[in-house]
Structure 1
Amino acid sequence: MTAPDLSARRIGAEAQPIAIVDGFHPDPAALRAAAATARFAPGRHHYPGLRAALPPDYFAAVRPALTAVLAGVFDQRGGVSLLDASFSIVTTPPDRLSVTQRLPHVDATDPARIALVHYLGEGDGTAFFRHRATGYETVDAARAPAYLATLNAELRRDGDPPATYVADSTPLFERIALVAARPNRAVIYRSALLHSGAIAPDAVLSDDPARGRLTVTAFLSLD
């Protein structure tokens, strides 16, 4: 078994940390096998696809790598709470995306919230963005009212964004970083970072875990 390979960098003008871990799980083949028999259902909270429960031992298996990331990259010395975690597959065709799903987003405005995306197959990665008008790369509770007011004014002025996943720079957002997907790679970042799945126009959006964009997505809270 190969030890996880951790790298960290700071992105954008705000120099927010992100962590990339290759070899995140000791047995990714077993994870993919578990996903093949999992019961998927439509995702909540604007997720453009399906989600299913993880094997109960998932976090025990990734704890060494995750602990190293939280301590070494996010300077976390206290407790960590798991808020949500699941297998996830993006399945929504671009022409069926809501306006919200066509834009970069944040998962939470609390800086103590951490997001994790664990890629289990080939495919598209994760992109991070700066909102051009405000210059924001993160949106916390203090920034949220001004950010939303500016963004909504832009959408009223310009109309809805194109019906596509946002993977690169647009008139409203500048891409500041891209993490490519690799099997058994995880990217870990603050939930307040503006980001999107970097899903190409010709991506295979199958609901079959063996063919689609299969990931584990998880959300943590640092105590």
Structure 2
Amino acid sequence: MQLPEARVTVETIGEEREPLVIIDNFTGQPERLRDLGYRSQYYPAGVDYPGRRAPADPSYLDIRRDLMMQVMTRVFGLSRSIQCEVAAFSIVSLAPHDLNARQSIPHHDHSDPGRVALMHYLDAPESGGTAFYRHRRTGFERITPEREAAYAAALEEDDREFGPVEPGYPAGDSERFEQIGAVEAQVDRVALYRGRCLHSGIIPNPDALSDDPRKGRLTVNMFLYGT
């Protein structure tokens, strides 16, 4: 099968100008990936992810190996010894009122600059993309190891001033966070960004969430790392 031409866009997020790479037409075969996702066995993802996950085989990235190597080295400054730490089909499925406080605000995956999150969207825009945020009290858009303690203290100060976080998916601006960018979901679109960026999934219609991968918000999520 001949690959379609990939469309690559490189942007920056917010004032701290973290790189954001968007690649359209990544595989040319999203139906195959969706079918694999439909047939996978899912498990609860734990206290951080608001839904269910199933293992995914990251080897399909090899069809764009040269492009991925260029992105990881030129954009993110990582070496050619890139490895995949996690690869999973993911379904956001929890009802808003079931979210815990951590799931109800933007989050960061890692503070390590050598870890890059990969989000592969398999559904149309109405499934929801990914939004990026700035924490108002600190001005942080990314959480580095040097900022972790100050950020944790600032979140506690937020709770003292505003009260406990109300359950619900983050959406746009709030008293605690300001939205500074977004990626729209498109079938077979890949987005790459450092996991230290504050971000959250966009959930335009929480009533439509489902544990069924044929009905729910199905994506592939990976974490790539290097030096």
Counterpart position of 2:162 = 158
Does the 8 A contact of 1:120 with 1:215 survive in 2? yes
Does the 8 A contact of 1:51 with 1:88 survive in 2? yes
Correspondences of 1:163-202 after superposition (within 5 Å) = 163-202=167-206
- Superposed displacement of residue 56, structure 1: 6.1
Structure 2 distance, partners of 1:41, 1:135, is 36
Residue of 198, 206, 213 corresponding to 2:210: 206
Q: How many residues align?
A: 223
Do structure 1's residue 7 and structure 2's residue 13 form an aligned pair? no
Do structure 1's residue 147 and structure 2's residue 151 form an aligned pair? yes
TM-score (norm 2): 0.93
Correspondences of 1:53-132 after superposition (within 5 Å) = 53-55=55-57, 57-122=59-124, 123-132=127-136
Task: Tell me which stretches of 4 or more aligned residues in structure 1 moved more than 3 Å.
Answer: none
Does the 8 A contact of 2:172 with 2:178 survive in 1? yes
Structure 2 distance, partners of 1:56, 1:114, is 14
Structure 1 distance, partners of 2:20, 2:58, is 26
Letter in 1 for 2:24: D
| Runs of 5+ unmatched residues, structure 2 | none
| Runs of 5+ unmatched residues, structure 1 | none
Letter in 1 for 2:39: T
Letter in 1 for 2:55: A
Structure 2 distance, partners of 1:68, 1:33, is 29
1:62–1:97: structure 2 CA closer, same or farther, 3 Å change rule? farther
- The structure with the largest helix share of the pair is 2
Letter in 2 for 1:180: E
Query: 1:149 aligns to what SS in structure 2?
Result: helix
Identity over the aligned pairs, expressed in percent? 38
Does the 8 A contact of 2:8 with 2:21 survive in 1? yes
- Superposed displacement of residue 11, structure 1: 1.4
Does the 8 A contact of 1:54 with 1:85 survive in 2? yes
Query: RMSD of the alignment, in Å?
Result: 1.5
